[in-house]
Amino acid sequence: MMLSLNCSFGMNKSFAAVLIAQFAPAYRCFSLGRQCLVKAVRELDRDVKKSCSVLGVNEDCSLQEVKDAFLTLAMKYHPDSGSASADAGKFDEIKKAYHTLRAFLSQDAPDDVSQVIEKDFKIKHTVPQHRQYLNLEGVGYGTPTQRQKQYDRYRVAQAANRVFEYRTSKAQPLDKTSLVQHDATLARQYKTTN
């Protein structure tokens, strides 16, 4: 069933797909009345206009123009870009606007933003450097050499504790009769005569 509602962008197949995907609850209430669907179309229209203004593109722009605008703004506002205007909040707003316009303009599934950033900027996520501290079970502080020495001492102390626990568990009698037998053998061994 193709919907025949007018908005500033016109209705096409991708718009209907986006409308159904993004506003499924509103689409389900279509049986309750056309007002709910019209409201959803207005919300989508408002979101698209807002996204266009965030990215600085016209409302009749192409997908390539949206992508170029996103890449330009991402270079400027990405938190890892190192520029003076780097802002995580603004970057999230730009990313959301890109997702909205990409979903609106394309019929296929949108690219993941992280893939676009990695492919176009050659920015790849790297593991934070603090992960090196996790290999010594959280023991030690200071330089890596100092931490390694402290960790070695910690391991020696652990080994000594394990040996002590093993020896004490081995020396403990299993039951009361074994203790009595042990005392009897010791008494025979150290028997004194009067």
Note the pLDDT tens digit of each residue in 137-155: 778 888 888 988 999 999 9
Q: In whole angstroms, what is the distance from residue 114 CA to residue 110 CA?
A: 12
Let me know whether 53 and 111 are in one domain: yes
Residue 147 lies in a domain: yes
Amino acid residing at 17: A
Note the pLDDT tens digit of each residue in 66-89: 888 988 888 888 878 777 888 888
* Token couple for 80: 């890892």
pTM of this prediction? 0.41
For residue 144, how far is the Cα from the chain centroid? 28
Region of poorest pLDDT, from 33-37, 58-62, 80-84: 33-37
The conformation of residue 84, written as its DSSP 8-state character, comes to T
Q: In whole angstroms, what is the distance from residue 45 CA to residue 10 CA?
A: 10
The mean predicted confidence, pLDDT, of the chain is 73
CATH code (residue 31):
1.10.287.110
Share of the chain above pLDDT 70, in %: 59
Res. 1 pLDDT band, cuts 50 70 90: very low
The total number of structural domains in the chain stands at 2
Q: In whole angstroms, what is the distance from residue 172 CA to residue 115 CA?
A: 63
Let me know whether 109 and 142 are in one domain: no
**What is the maximum alpha-carbon separation in the chain?**
120
Q: In whole angstroms, what is the distance from residue 97 CA to residue 85 CA?
A: 19
For residue 24, pLDDT over 90 is answered with: no
Region of poorest pLDDT, from 24-28, 125-129, 172-176, 181-185: 24-28
Res. 160 pLDDT band, cuts 50 70 90: very high
Q: In whole angstroms, what is the distance from residue 81 CA to residue 79 CA?
A: 6
Q: In whole angstroms, what is the distance from residue 1 CA to residue 69 CA?
A: 34
Res. 26 pLDDT band, cuts 50 70 90: very low
Look up the domain containing 37 and give its range: 13-121
User: Higher-confidence residue: 51 or 14?
Assistant: 51
Let me know whether 101 and 36 are in one domain: yes
Let me know whether 34 and 114 are in one domain: yes
For residue 109, pLDDT over 50 is answered with: no
Res. 8 pLDDT band, cuts 50 70 90: very low
Domain's final residue, options 61, 92, 121: 121
142 sits in the region (left: phi over 0; alpha: psi -120 to 50; else beta) called: left
Let me know whether 58 and 117 are in one domain: yes
Residue 7 lies in a domain: no
Q: Find the mean pLDDT for residues 162-181.
A: 76
- Calculate the dihedral angle through the C-alpha atoms of 80, 84, 89, 93, rounding to the nearest 10 degrees: -90
Let me know whether 184 and 151 are in one domain: yes
For residue 161, pLDDT over 90 is answered with: yes
Q: Find the mean pLDDT for residues 96-113.
A: 72
